Amino acid sequence: MAMTQELLKRYFSSRGYYFPEQTISSFYTALKTKGFVILTGLSGTGKTKLALEFAELLRTPLKNYIFLSVRPDWRDGVLLIGYPLDEKYEVTALLEFILSAKEDYERNRDEAAPFFIILDEMSLARVEYYFADFLSVLESGRDETGYTKEGIKLHSKSNLDVPEEIMLPPNIYIIGTVNVDETMYMFSPKVLDRAFTIELSDVDFASYLDLGYESMNEDDVSFLAGRVREDLSRGGMFVAITKDGELIKRALGYLRESGYIDFIERLNEVLKAHDLHFGYRVLDEISLFFRNAKESQDKGIISFESDDEIVDLAILMKVLPKFHGPRRKLERPLLHVVNLSLEKSIDVTARETESIRRELLSKIIGQDVGRVGGYTLEEVLSNWKEYEQKFRFPHTAKKCLRMLRQLYEVGFASFS
């Protein structure tokens, strides 16, 4: 069947939704790489629809997603996974869903259906409280069969119908949505370490109004769904990361061959001076994200403008979410990251790069950063299309500039 590239973008358009290409591609690759994605940003930008429509694409005769509205009174995981009561176990809808996913994986293995847990407004309660068991288990690694090495403890009785603990199969994907407002709790580093965080805050009314809904008939949708299932199962969470870490080794080697390891090392050295550097896990996940993005792009499922954009988006999702604090803590590291983001590709001379650096940073900082910084940043951000081509990594730069504007306006900034 002849199909155009960027299949997922066509699919969302056919369903009547506009998302920037990089949002769709980041979301898909993050799910494939980690299986746990947090969608944050303005209310009304389509975070929940993005999750639901993607799950709908991969629908099966089984119920392949569960939608849970997080409540402010969630203090632990009892309402999620249930509890023992006398001679029986109080089974929740989520536990039934997980057991169904586990049964499907045991029966079908690589052909198992993907199952999605969608946590709506997940920051209305403290994630590290009600989701603690999942956070710990997800970081235990996976054995040669694909299951998590550690399980979620359910009970310690021998006379109940449900198992004492449950290892999560690799066909479970977790998507959380977060509206940024005064009711949300800040995410802890423990949560951010275990997820890819994608911000949906850019609103492009012109593109939205000009959106032409592409048509996809049932055959087109079935073709795309089959390709996505195969891509997820062959290259993503279904691929067990064995004890020798062979998959990670290959991904790290691929990133090194592509020339990005040196840049990431320089970035980490700059951040180390401010205690904002990252560890091996983040490097591993950036490498896996890069490998998975290239693989899925080659299959025509998603599209990136360049390899630089893939690395740019990975840094945006895995490094910047931990940035939060007062001006004294964040101003210098943010300016350093903006400066590093200006590095141009090899076809731009050193003199041209330095000229761009001086021009843009002087525009941003001015003579007195505390006095005129807010104004000049506003000017740059308001005319971003004019400035973004000056950056090698514009997505990262733009987010840093927004956080700098927060610092100069209110003295404090955070990723969300």
Confidence of residue 226 (pLDDT cuts 50, 70, 90): very high
The alpha-helical segments, DSSP class H, found in 90-162 are: 93-108, 127-130, 132-138
Other C-beta atoms lying within 10 Å of the C-beta of residue 243: 10
Specify the long-range contacts of residues 135-138, CB closer than 8 Å, at least 24 apart.
135/190, 135/191, 135/194, 137/167, 137/168, 138/35, 138/36, 138/168, 138/194
Q: What is the mean pLDDT of residues 10-36?
A: 92
Buried b (16+ CB within 10 A) or exposed e, 14-30: bbebbbeebbbbbbbbb
Mean pLDDT score of the chain, rounded to an integer? 85
Percentage of the chain with pLDDT > 90? 56
| Residue 207 vs residue 101, higher pLDDT | 101
> Rounded to the nearest 5°, which phi and psi values hold at 117?
-100, 115
Higher-scoring residue by pLDDT: 350, 322: 322
d(CA 24, CA 214): 16
Instruction: Note the Cα 200 to chain centre separation in Å.
Output: 11
So what's the pLDDT on residue 37?
96
User: Would you state the pLDDT for residue 293?
Assistant: 96
Is it the case that residue 3 has pLDDT exceeding 70?
A: no
Cα-based distances in Å from 401 to 117, 193, 252, 328: 33, 23, 29, 16
Q: What percent of the chain is predicted at pLDDT more than 70?
A: 84
Q: Look at strands 88-90 and 412-414 and give their pairing.
A: unpaired
pLDDT of residue 234: 66
**Residue 349 pLDDT greater than 70, yes or no:** no
In this predicted structure, the answer to whether residue 244 has a pLDDT above a threshold of 50 is no
* pLDDT at position 291: 94
Rounded (5°) CA angle 264-266-271: 95
* Domains assigned to the chain: 7-209 (3.40.50.300), 323-416 (no CATH)
